[in-house]
Amino acid sequence: MVKRGNDAVHWYMTEVGARVVAKTGIPSDRHHLGKLMLHSLQDDPDFILQIDGATGESETFGSALDRSIRCAVSLTNMGLKKGDVMVLMGPNHIDYCIPHTAGLFLGLKVASIDATLCVNELEQLFETNRPKIIFAQTKKLRDINEALSSSKVDAKIVTFDSYSERTLAQLLDNADEVSVKKFQPTDLDPSSTIAFLTSTSGTTGIPKTAMITHENLAISLPYIWKTMSKFPSPVKISFVVSPAQWITTGFNYLFSPVLKFTRLQTSAPVTPEHFADLVDKYRPNYILCNPVLMRTLAERANCDFTCFEQMTLAGSYVTPELVEKMKKMTQSEDIFVHYGMSELSGTAFVHDCPAPPGSCGRPAGSFDCKLVDPETHKEVTEPHVPGELWFKGPAVFKGYHNNPEVTRETFSDDGWFRCGDIFYRDESWNVYFVERYKSLLKYNNHQVSPLEVEMMIMKHPEVFQVAVTGIPDRECGDLAVACVVPKPGCSPTAQEIKDLVKENLTETKHLRGGVIFMNSLPITSASKINRQKLKELALAMPRE
C-alpha cells in the first residue's frame, strides 16, 4: 500500500483539546497554547522533555512544569500581564524554555530574537517590540542596556546565568508556594491574543516582526506531523539544530510536551563535529533542518545518519539532489520538503500522498490559497503557469507588530495575504516553488530566476555551493553573477561555470556579470543565504 498522510495528529489534538476544555469549561481553550502545554506537562511528569547535548543535562516534564509555574508566578508579581512583550535572547540551553512556557501561560507576547545582534539592531527591535522584560546571558547586558537607553524603552532584565543582580534562579526561588500550588494560566481569547512576535527572515535591513496568535499556531502546527500516524510520541527524539530565535525551534518548544517527544538541543554551536557526536550518542530519529545547513552536515559530519527515520527540510529552496542524497544517507524514503513562513504560522503545504520530485506538496487544509499574477493581480487558473501565492484562513498571521503601513501593503483589499513567492501547480495541485518575487533579476525586460541558474551550476561535479545575484547595468538591467564555493580539493574554473550555463540555459540567463569564487557564502543567523550581503560582495569583489 502506498504510504500517505492521515488525520491522526488532528484526532490526537482534538482529544487533548477536549480534555483541557473539560477542565476549564471554556470552549476556546482548545487553542490556548499555555493550557494545552500545562495539561500535557501534568499528564506525564517523568517523561524526558529536553536534553542539552553540550552539557549532558536533561529535564523531565515535571521539572519543567514546576519551574515554568514558578517563573510565571514571579513574572505576575513583577507586574507582567497579558499582552506585555517578553524578549528572549540566548542559546538552546535547558533554561531557555522556562520563561518561554511561562509567557504562554500568562498570555505574554514572546519574542525570541538573535542573541548576536549588535546595539543598533537591538535598538530598532526594542523600538518595535517595546518589551517589558528581557531574558538574556550576562555577556549581553552592556549591549542591551545601551540599546534600551537609545530606544527609550523601560524594560526589566533577567539573566539566565548567575552573574547579575536579577537572575532566573532568583525568580524561581522567590515564587511563594501558595501561589505556585494555586496557579492557573491566564484566560484569554486565542484568536486575538498574540503568542509569538517572530522576526521574519528578511535579509535587508531590520526584519519585520510578525504577530502570530495562539489560535494561528494551534491550527497550523499539527500539519507538520501530517505524515505520521502514531500519537502521542510520533517520534522519540527530535534533534533541534536551529538557533533559539528561529520559529521552527519555537515549534519544538511548543509541541514537544503536547505531542510527547524529547527535544535534543545544544547550547553549543552546531558544528559538523558536534552534530556527529550528538547523533552517534543519542540516535535522534527526527530532524527539521534548513537545507543550507543540512548540505554542510551531510558533507562534513562523520556520523551514521540511519537513525533518522524522518527528515523535514525547510527554510529555503531544497534541491531534488539534496533530497535524494538524504534518502540514501538515512536509508529512509521519508525526506520531506516543507515550505512555510512565519506569516503562515508554520507549513503551507502537506504531503498527503507521495509528492512528485521537486514539489512542496499540496496546500494544507488550514488555508484557502490561489495563484495570482503579481503584476496584474488576476488569478492564474491554468496549471504550470507561475504566479504569486495568496493565502487566507485561520492560520494566517495578524500583521506586523507596530507596523500598520507594511501590514496594509502585505494584504490585498479583500484580506488575502500576499506571500511574495512565485510558484506553479500541476493538474493535481502539487505546488512547485519557482523564486522569491523580489529576488528575480531582469535582463532586457526578461525575468531571470537566480534559483534556476543555481540549480544548473550545482550540476558541476566540483561545486559545493552556489548563489546567483545581480549587478546593475544601465542599459540591460541586471547582469547575473555566480558566487561559487568549490568542493574541498577542487578547482573549477570560471569558464567551466559560464559554459555550463551557456550550454543549458537561454541566453538571457547567461553569467554576464561573471563568476566569483568564495570560501563560504554569507548567511543569516537562520542559515539562509544573505542575499543583500551577497549583492554587496558581488559589487566589491573581483569577478572572472
- What is the SS3 assignment for 120-163? HHHHHHHHHHCCCEEEECHHHHHHHHHHHHHHCCCCEEEECCCC
pLDDT score of 204 more than 50: no
Q: How many Å apart are CA 141 and CA 375, to the nearest integer?
A: 47
Q: CA nearest 258: which of 7, 29, 5, 49?
A: 49
Residue 511: pLDDT over 60: yes
The C-alpha atoms of residue 528 and residue 294 are separated, in whole angstroms, by 11
Residue 17's identity, in one-letter code, is: G
Helices assigned H by DSSP within 238-365? 247-259, 272-282, 291-300, 320-330
Domains of the chain: 8-268 (3.40.50.12780), 334-437 (2.30.38.10), 441-540 (3.30.300.30)
Tell me, what's the pLDDT at 206? Answer: 47
> What span, in angstroms and rounded, lies between the C-alpha atoms of 146 and 143?
5
Beta-carbon count within 10 A of 385 CB: 11
Percent of the chain whose predicted confidence (pLDDT) is above 90: 67
| Nearest-10 Cα torsion for 146, 149, 150, 155 | 100
Report DSSP state, residue 439.
G
Q: Is 90 exceeded by the pLDDT of residue 304?
A: yes
Give the pLDDT of residue 5.
Answer: 65
The answer to whether 441 and 470 are in contact (CB under 8 A) is yes
Give 162-182 pLDDT, tens digit per residue.
Answer: 888 899 999 999 999 999 999
What percent of the chain clears pLDDT 70, i.e. is strictly above it?
A: 96
Give mean pLDDT, residues 29-33. 98
Structure-model confidence comparison of residues 179 and 226, the more confident one:
179
Interval 382-391: pLDDT, tens = 999 999 999 9
Q: How far apart are CA 4 and CA 200, in angstroms?
A: 31
pLDDT digits (tens, 9 = 90+) for 67-88: 999 999 999 999 999 999 999 9
Q: Please state the pTM of the whole predicted model.
A: 0.84
